[in-house]
């Protein structure tokens, strides 16, 4: 839970709703990784899963919006209204 709460510092650079989602997500992932370590009795599986999740799955348009403080809802609306692909919508912002 401490890892999730540490993300509250992001309030300085991004919107409240984005930060609260990030805090919740970090807490949930921290609990999941703790369960993996307890179940496997190895830190390596948690490290591997963390790498897969954050390198391949989390590297999305949404991740960029969190990093740059862009409201995710505006991206979704622009994406749905544009008729373009996700990659083209990400380039707009």
What is the model's pTM? 0.54
Q: Answer whether residue 90 shows pLDDT above 80.
A: no
Between 90 and 18, where is the model more confident?
Answer: 18
11-54 pLDDT, tens digit each: 888 888 888 888 888 899 899 999 999 999 999 999 998 888 77
The full set of domain ranges for the chain reads 1-59, 60-93
Q: What is the separation, in whole angstroms, between the first and last Cα of the chain?
A: 32
Confirm if 23 and 8 have CB atoms less than 8 A apart.
yes
């Amino acid at each position: 839970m401490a890892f999730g709460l540490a993300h509250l510092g992001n309030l300085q650079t991004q919107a409240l709703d984005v930060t609260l989602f990030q805090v919740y997500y970090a807490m949930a992932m921290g609990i999941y990784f703790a369960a993996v370590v307890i179940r496997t009795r190895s830190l390596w599986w948690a490290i591997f899963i963390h790498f897969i999740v954050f390198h391949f799955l989390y590297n999305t348009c949404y991740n960029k919006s969190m990093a740059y403080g862009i409201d995710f809802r505006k991206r979704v609306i622009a994406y749905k209204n544009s008729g373009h692909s996700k990659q083209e919508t990400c380039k707009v912002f």
